[in-house]
Structure 1
């Protein structure tokens, strides 16, 4: 039986499995299953419990979202976060079933539960202005509030994730499960995050920026707090960014991931370990030229969790995720600095939970033709067993196109890497229109993972070409840093080299029907490309940057990102910002250009799209602007479902009109 072609709306048929958490007592695992529903335009997430025989059952039910399942130390209970009663709060439920008990009633919600080693307390995060925000005031909820002006005194006053920032900050709080009392552990006009609890229960670790002026001192330092005295001990030196904290089982070491900003935002994340007794901190992976963690770009899974260092029972070693050459896998490291790969597949390991005592893992794995399933992986024997098949029936119904890896050289001899996807129903001897995709970041990585946008385009009869130009992660420190100060330079040549290589190597590409698209940095590159060549007959720029001068003041990261990445500023390097702005070259653009942008995008604000659209329209160019209401920078990955479908269809239809019908 022939399979049908994929549509944009097939996203409603897909199921996402994330955040596996393995209980060493029962050897069962909890995970989050997310489905997308067209009828009410809603994401729904539920916590499921699975075993190694492949049986899974729902642990939570109903509409809304249940996330962050965390086993109590003895495995008898699960804590999780649910928004079943409007705001997200923490619930606790017996592992063998029963009624879920809501244990937090915070005014601004609660998230990120971390059990104490004794199982009687839960550490969590909440947004507060003061202690009064720890509990909801039912009467206050009913009061209507008049609009008030937003008074701004800081450069960092908005966030793409949160919108305009108010007086609230992210703080850490402690819940006593016996008394139900909640105490605030941190305070002040600072944010605290990624908490971890020491094995003896006497201290916690977290990251924060306690510098005098956090607008200028852009760092996240690691601290350890004594829970009895509330005394904080600073671990790092206010010169970098750190996250994903974990204590070794014997409590002697604190591990974390991050870097000292040697190359600003283009610095590889590394493995760090502090010996708590002496305070000595060492980078253990400085000789390992790979990015620690998962930096793969996709448009399907959301809510992935970086587990940080997963320590062995003897506290002498640890496992961790890493990204290299378009794949993400598992490495092993030891306190003496030895690092070596355990599992480096041509696929995307996007989630992992380990029982390090037996060297086993539950992993979430995706590839170009598989949205993702969970597997049991024995690291010693290198064998794995599939535990779920939630997307199997859909995969059997549709024609999926495989991404085939390509290796080629840039004009200056640099080795480059990418993939090409033939269209659905491919026939030898035919020529097909081709779309070149450019990822955002730029410090991210196209990878061996499922990409719904790519499958939607190949189903329409397009070849899809995608690559990792210099500036991408996955190819070492020199490669990722090479784009800084050179936006539109060698990275542009890399993108064009990919197109040249494909035309030389694949006779099924119609050289007269080429298109290009990308989002964020990929939108910048799309704008730049059509301003510097007319070889593309259609282009779609998404959540893009067109003008670094205005971006400097309107983006939530503009005032430092522009200086770090473009290496221009508003003091004495204004010309540098203008030189790298695609809008400077707008009079050169002849390619029909579709401009897509979210109204609430504070990362690359919508004025970037407005400027480009008006400049093109004024000059009589072929263009269209599509604005997505209430959508931020994450529209294509986790935004409103109806708008995600509209976005995909606009992209597809533009290329159909100007490549297939032309």
Structure 2
């Protein structure tokens, strides 16, 4: 599938534009029963559930918001699958713990913890033993993988290298003098990344360390990234990994091959060779097959992954999902080696399927959910025990995900992480809505989050909330933004226009080299359906969205004045500046637009929302993270300035310290951002007249 997403200063804006209700008012209208900004600090979500080989226990990551630090904290907890008893294992107020991985015999648990300062690899002996720190690494380890005999643990880590040098500062610095910092020099195509900032010189490499402690050993070298996930051969002598080790790797961001690494000699053999990504190798229990994901690179913006198997030497490659129009992920082998489990998205929902070596595919469970707090994206994760019991994250769309267990044909929920909120808060109901696009009759789906206590036949103001990606999907999943909007009296429409995933490859590629395009018709059609159902007030329509949703928000207000107000969040406004300043420069021009800006500047302009700014009349707020490198801050600033020059009501809201993917990472900023959006909508509920 597509590998790249377009995916406090706010408080004063909200305070100026929308004063909070008094406590007396809250008591009289029952709003204390509704989800509020303060409740963001009390949310918890389950992630990365790892079931033990014998199915008796589940280790999972519990993420909770710390009101004192204004950040999410992660801890690892253990659940007894028979009794449901939970005990904490690692992490807490002063340290994060994550990435739990069971030893093959189920007696130990490896994980990453910041308990000793930086993120390090730890192992906990579960039969009365201690937790032992195995490493003292300069960077965080990733892709933790046990050897089959449990004696070694492999992982990946960034290995710094010396950056390029050009000249030097003058010599003779006087003692006690304060000179400027040295020059920063970059020579890679991707020299900064969203969430990481300007990148340290270095490359991801593979290491191995004894599971009882000792000196780690670096296994791979060279000026390219060697990535996870990793998988050992059955005899533990080889490691399989994915990487693009070709000379032009910087200019081919999709390409990668599956490689076999001989641990003793360090010899590396590429096992695949096609033009396209081959990733996520997984060795079968008997060691006779290697499964991997990939696709043929056709230069399109989106491709489904397929699931392949091959012999350990790379021969006999066979596609198991050639006729299946979905994209498998998180693939793990069944204990009997006759099939694999994979997670996939269908119509905005997430399921787990078993894919047999004979090509049969059947659903094992549905209702997988999880991921971020703020938007209702598909997601979640699962793991499988030797007895085919499946641990997964799931739950209703009104609260974040819990840990669930599917076993012997039954599903039970093992945690209730938000019990206190569940007992005291009335959340907005989430229901499905479908229509046909006015453009070509294409079926379009979405989900409506209704105000708490909504009465049928009542018309309420509607917020069209558009997802990013654009190759992603909304579904019946928890979203704090939607619940906050609903608590304020709005219905929220989370739609999946053409280009969304989970509806097949053709549906996603209807925007290939044509984005934004006919998404406009899809979105307007589903808004009209919400009006036709008697829910949305046609005189109180509002629109917002982030990333790809910001692109479409800006496009919509350039096409129509139907919406009373708009908020475009972290948008792309000008494709030329986006392609040349974003953190994935080698990807966007080649795959999304099919050419570079200098090759067809007219096409770039036609696809840019900035080309429509002369037609915008809708009051439009612009929101962006101050450290956004995916859709850089300059995109939002261009649009804000253009709107100001045209006299269209606008304001620019920057979230301090926030990246593109982390714009809602800190609870106070997430709450303030939602409050600012609601304040903007409230301000223009009655409309405006130029010259006001």
Q: Which residue of 1 aligns with 2:365?
A: 343
Question: Alpha-carbon deviation of 1:150?
Answer: 2.3
1:541 correspondence with 2:568: yes
- Conserved 8 A contact 1:513-1:659: yes
Q: Which residue of 2 aligns with 1:237?
A: 273
Question: Alpha-carbon deviation of 1:560?
Answer: 2.6
CA 254–527 in structure 1, closer or farther in 2 if over 3 Å, else same = same
Q: How far apart, in 1, do the equivalents of 2:549 and 2:670 lie?
A: 18
Q: Which residue of 1 aligns with 2:118?
A: 87
Q: Which residue of 2 aligns with 1:215?
A: 250
- Conserved 8 A contact 2:368-2:394: no
CA 221–5 in structure 1, closer or farther in 2 if over 3 Å, else same = same
CA 660–84 in structure 1, closer or farther in 2 if over 3 Å, else same = farther
Q: How far apart, in 2, do the equivalents of 1:93 and 1:426 lie?
A: 49
- Conserved 8 A contact 2:301-2:513: no
CA 285–153 in structure 1, closer or farther in 2 if over 3 Å, else same = same
Q: How far apart, in 2, do the equivalents of 1:382 and 1:325 lie?
A: 24
After superposition, give the CA deviation of every residue in 1:446-500 in whole Å (9 maximum; x if it has no partner).
Answer: 1121111111100000011111111010111110101012213211111111112
Q: Which residue of 2 aligns with 1:68?
A: 99
Q: How far apart, in 2, do the equivalents of 1:97 and 1:618 lie?
A: 69
CA 387–439 in structure 1, closer or farther in 2 if over 3 Å, else same = same
Q: Which residue of 1 aligns with 2:304?
A: 268
- What secondary structure is seen at the aligned counterpart in 2 of 1:215? helix
* Greater Cα shift, 558-567 or 509-518: 558-567
Within 5 Å, give how 1:14-25 maps onto structure 2. Answer: 14-25=43-54
- Conserved 8 A contact 1:349-1:366: no
- Residue 353 (structure 1) aligned to one of 383, 390, 404: 383
- Conserved 8 A contact 2:368-2:381: no
- Residue 285 (structure 2) aligned to one of 249, 254, 260: 249
Within 5 Å, give how 1:171-190 maps onto structure 2. Answer: 171-178=205-212, 180-190=214-224
- Conserved 8 A contact 1:29-1:49: yes
1:576 correspondence with 2:603: yes
- Residue 478 (structure 2) aligned to one of 440, 450, 453: 450
Question: Alpha-carbon deviation of 1:605?
Answer: 0.2
After superposition, give the CA deviation of every residue in 1:198-231 in whole Å (9 maximum; x if it has no partner).
Answer: 2221111111111111122221221111112222
Within 5 Å, give how 1:49-68 maps onto structure 2. Answer: 49-52=78-81, 53-62=83-92, 63-68=94-99
Question: Alpha-carbon deviation of 1:393?
Answer: 2.2
CA 346–419 in structure 1, closer or farther in 2 if over 3 Å, else same = farther
- Conserved 8 A contact 1:291-1:324: no
CA 420–178 in structure 1, closer or farther in 2 if over 3 Å, else same = closer
CA 202–660 in structure 1, closer or farther in 2 if over 3 Å, else same = farther
Within 5 Å, give how 1:378-417 maps onto structure 2. Answer: 378=407, 381-411=408-438, 412-417=440-445
- Conserved 8 A contact 1:130-1:187: no
Instruction: Flag the structure with more relative contact order, 1 or 2, with Cα contacts below 8 A and sequence separation at least 6.
Output: 2
Q: TM-score normalized by structure 2?
A: 0.87
What are the ranges of 5 or more consecutive residues in structure 1 without an aligned counterpart? 132-143, 294-307
Q: How far apart, in 2, do the equivalents of 1:243 and 1:652 lie?
A: 42
Q: Which residue of 1 aligns with 2:398?
A: 369
Q: Which residue of 2 aligns with 1:170?
A: 204
Q: Which residue of 1 aligns with 2:226?
A: 192
- What secondary structure is seen at the aligned counterpart in 1 of 2:684? helix
- Residue 263 (structure 2) aligned to one of 211, 218, 227: 227
After superposition, give the CA deviation of every residue in 1:123-163 in whole Å (9 maximum; x if it has no partner).
Answer: 111111269xxxxxxxxxxxx99733222223221111322
Q: Which residue of 2 aligns with 1:121?
A: 152
CA 173–37 in structure 1, closer or farther in 2 if over 3 Å, else same = same
Q: How far apart, in 1, do the equivalents of 2:644 and 2:232 lie?
A: 57
After superposition, give the CA deviation of every residue in 1:6-45 in whole Å (9 maximum; x if it has no partner).
Answer: 1123121111111111112471111111110112213221
* Greater Cα shift, 527-536 or 208-217: 208-217
- Conserved 8 A contact 1:235-1:274: no
Q: How far apart, in 2, do the equivalents of 1:173 and 1:569 lie?
A: 38
Q: Which residue of 2 aligns with 1:323?
A: 345
- Conserved 8 A contact 1:436-1:466: yes
Question: Alpha-carbon deviation of 1:278?
Answer: 5.6
- Conserved 8 A contact 1:77-1:92: yes
- Conserved 8 A contact 2:272-2:314: no
What are the ranges of 5 or more consecutive residues in structure 2 without an aligned counterpart? 1-26, 163-177, 370-377
Q: How far apart, in 1, do the equivalents of 2:352 and 2:457 lie?
A: 41
Q: Which residue of 2 aligns with 1:135?
A: none
* Greater Cα shift, 553-562 or 63-72: 553-562
Question: Alpha-carbon deviation of 1:567?
Answer: 3.1
Q: Which residue of 1 aligns with 2:192?
A: 158
Q: Which residue of 1 aligns with 2:549?
A: 522
- Residue 35 (structure 1) aligned to one of 64, 70, 73: 64
Q: How far apart, in 1, do the equivalents of 2:676 and 2:48 lie?
A: 32
After superposition, give the CA deviation of every residue in 1:281-332 in whole Å (9 maximum; x if it has no partner).
Answer: 2221010011223xxxxxxxxxxxxxx3221222111111111111110111
CA 243–392 in structure 1, closer or farther in 2 if over 3 Å, else same = farther
After superposition, give the CA deviation of every residue in 1:75-118 in whole Å (9 maximum; x if it has no partner).
Answer: 22211101123311111121145532211111223233211122
Q: Which residue of 2 aligns with 1:473?
A: 501
Q: Which residue of 2 aligns with 1:289?
A: 325
- Conserved 8 A contact 1:48-1:56: yes
Moved beyond 4 Å, runs of 4+: 345-349
- Conserved 8 A contact 1:568-1:574: no
- Conserved 8 A contact 1:454-1:464: yes
> Alignment RMSD, CA only?
2.1
- Conserved 8 A contact 2:289-2:309: yes
Q: How far apart, in 2, do the equivalents of 1:96 and 1:19 lie?
A: 23
Q: Which residue of 2 aligns with 1:305?
A: none
After superposition, give the CA deviation of every residue in 1:398-453 in whole Å (9 maximum; x if it has no partner).
Answer: 11112211121011111111111221232345321100011001111111211111
